[in-house]
Structure formats: C-alpha cells, structure tokens
Structure 1
C-alpha cells in the first residue's frame, strides 16, 4: 500500500494523524515545494494539500498533474473552502471528457 501524506498548516492537518497519515506542516517549512517533490519521490501515493498551500505551490503541483502517482488532492483548511479542489477536479474532467460537465443550459 502506498503511503499517504498531508501537507498544510498544522491546525488544518493535525487531525489526519489520528487516521495514520503522515503530517508535513508547512507553518515553518522554508521550502514547501521541495517537501512536495521529496514526498512524490519517496513513494507517497496520495498527498493531501490544503487549498491555501495549493495556491502557493501551483507551479510545482502542475509538474505532477499528468502523472498517475502521486495523486495530489486539495483539501479545505481551517480558513475555509476556496474552491481550489473543485476547480482542479473540473479541469481534470474537462480534459478527460472534452466538455464542461458542470455547465448547465437553461
């Protein structure tokens, strides 16, 4: 089984430790992009990242978008939902299907 990591501010991610996921707080991380690259190269199959950190690491995350592993999944942090996760899923579906499935014609 692949390892699962969670990156973000400590207050947003500490609860995931109880589920057996490895925590990587970015509060004092001087190089979160380097941390993400290290996790991707170290056998982590899923990396959950708070939406605030996703915005900060957009270019680095884009490097892994076409790869099967790791799956980088945005999650809301304690500051709330910024819709980064929904937008990422929407882009992936549009790319796979060739159409915006959330667009409704009235």
Structure 2
C-alpha cells in the first residue's frame, strides 16, 4: 500500500488567504475568479488533498465546484471571506448530507 502525503492549498484573494500561510498552508492568491478552475486542476495534479477556496470565488465557478464534489481527492472546502459567509458552504454540506442519508437532517 502506498503511503501518500497530501498537501493543503488555499485559493482566494490575497488579504483573505494570508492567515493560512502563517499556519503553514500553501496559498495561491488570485485576482480574477476565472483563474481558479485551471489552478484547481493544477493543484489536483500536484498531490493536493485539500483545497480551501473562498466562497466569493466558488460562487463564480459553480461547474468546477460541482465537478470536484464528485471526486474524492482533492476535497474542495469553501470558506467565507471577511465580508461574511454567503451560505454557499452550508448549502453544499446540506446537499452532501442529503445525498448520503436520503434527507436533510441538518
């Protein structure tokens, strides 16, 4: 059995993702949301197991988020920005729970 170590990356606007660099995650600041899909694909090929992405970016690339939800690795985790949550991440969790158990128990 192969013992694979996955990396953790964070995608978003520079000011939002800077704290993640302090705790040791690889950060990838982007200024244009349309840069995110290619960056996500690139990180997936570079052994990233978890990719945090800010909700403001995720909101603009729903097709990429939906495609990644079907994959086991990398796991895309949506995080709010300093402007607050857009509830996209909560909706995503609710949908995944509903798929898993047949109803929304949250």
TM-score, normalised via structure 1 length = 0.90
Matching of residue 45 in structure 1 with residue 26 in structure 2: no
The answer to whether residue 98 in structure 2 is matched with residue 94 in structure 1 is yes
- Secondary structure of the residue aligned to 2:85 is coil
State the shift of 1:30 in Å.
5.9
The ranges of structure 1 where at least 4 consecutive aligned residues each deviate by more than 6 angstroms after the TM superposition are none
Shift of 1:31: 2.0
Gaps (5+ residues) in structure 1?
none
**Pairwise CA RMSD:** 1.3
Gaps of 5+ in 2: none
Q: CA deviation at 1:73?
A: 0.2
CA distance in 2, matches of 1:50, 1:38: 17
